[in-house]
A and B are shown apart, each in its own frame.
Chain A
């Protein structure tokens, strides 16, 4: 019992740290990228939220921002990059194209990246205003702090299963 409390507290602490130090991997494909530039540039300054430093290697980052339309041709690359992200990993779908395909409903566009990878926060807008993006990041921070992102929940579930197996003495 005691041990369990300490581990949850420890995890809370870790989550608190995680939520203020996102390392972003911007997966920029399309028009939304212009707004991403604006978010990163001085006026809106994503640095205030501890997520300013884009890492261009997925292995060094934990937050993937999918910025722009994902086409069927691009989909395998997206999946591959997601698989390479460091755990725990979070995904933001930036713009309606990434969220649902937007107003491109045709042979070439993936109807939302959640067809390919799990998403934690969707930011609507075509393109979203920088303020919306900042709001999305705050939302994700909240989610990470509470340990409710897809990846964290899966990790917890697996840990629980492990423990169960151990207690059953297998």
Chain B
């Protein structure tokens, strides 16, 4: 019981340590999580507090450690795709693309057919939009603004349905393959995505209007969790959080992969690195993604969606059933997996939360010897230790919301 009282009332007079108003005078330890309503993602924070003020925070991730690396070591290169889906489950396609690119780099496949590149860019951008929608929507809900959440999730639902049409699954698509994608775009894909984008932009405006003029939301975001540029760089921050600090760095621009080099888009950059900037950067990125998508729709050429490389392409069904070579190749492909030369490679793409990288060590068989994922959430989350100390307990919620820690990716 005494604990509860301290939590609510705290020390009465901070200047005069002797005047405690009958309350105990020392710091208190409070446990937040691992299942806490105001945080999406499971995480436990041990807070040392002085009244309402956080003195020190010990952040404990790992409640969703599912052994991605151990599992991938036992799986073939193609079987790893479902695991990558579940890393950052809000933007699965980007993970798929990242993994495929890492394996392709090891195999020395650098020339991808143009249509394939466009498809990969398009699905990545759709995933980026779903990621940011979820991040903004859920954070708004945690700060008490429920309506924007419903609006944004509605949009996300449209996109999920589109991706389902494409890949067969609403959330865990596993659509990309080494050297290509599972199948070509569905017939009306381009028309549908244009339609969705047309409907999405007004919703974004509406949500933005609701949130920006919401005083509670604004006050709880502005000036909270700010980070200086130098700190951000030394902590290895990346993605929207880094750009909110004013660093103009986006993998898509600085190390263009696929055909991002040919597409026109801007990289929004913030100034102070606080939660409000992070939120605004995310909103703007959704717009830029939609621009990219429109360009892709206008430019996408016809052509194959797989590289022409027998190492990673499955034989045609007719060949499999009718010729012994086809049969053997098919069998080898499924059982042994794609053979990759020994070596190691690191590739990175711009994920929803920042630089998402895969570092693969191959031993020449069909299974990765080591598959390491450079998880942006993990590096981003680390900064929270620094940003919440000295702030109020209630600031934890926006800070966490805007770091957008995704359990699956952070804990792997």
Chain A residues within CB distance 8 Å of chain B: 27-31, 33-35, 37-38, 41-43, 56, 68-69, 71, 73-74, 77-78, 81, 103-104, 106-109, 126-127, 129
Contact = CB atoms under 8 A, between A and B. Distances in A.
Contacts of A37: 134, 138, 153
- Which of B64, B90, B154 has the most chain A CB atoms inside 10 A of its CB? B64
Given A30-B407, A34-B90, A43-B157, A126 B172 contact: yes
B86 interface: yes
Interface residues of B, number: 32
B64 A69 contact: yes
A114 B408 CA distance: 22
Given A42-B150, A74-B42, A35 B170 contact: yes
Contacts, number: 88
Q: Across chains A and B, which 7 residue pairs bring their CB atoms closest together, nearest first? A: A56-B37, A31-B89, A106-B67, A41-B153, A104-B66, A74-B63, A29-B42
A108 B67 contact: yes
16 contacts: A27-B35, A31-B85, A31-B171, A34-B134, A37-B134, A38-B170, A73-B62, A78-B35, A81-B35, A103-B82, A103-B83, A104-B66, A104-B67, A127-B170, A127-B171, A127-B172
Contact of B70 (A42, A56, A107): A107
A42 B153 CA distance: 9
A53 B23 CA distance: 37
Contacts of A43: 154, 157
Interface in B233-267: none
Nearest to A58: B35
Contact of A71 (B35, B64, B138, B153): B64
B67 A38 contact: no
Contacts of A73: 62-63, 65
Contacts of A109: 66-67
A34 B64 contact: no
Contacts of A33: 40
Given A30-B408, A69-B64, A38 B153 contact: yes
A29 B171 contact: no
A50 B174 CA distance: 34
A59 B115 CA distance: 55
Contacts of A27: 35
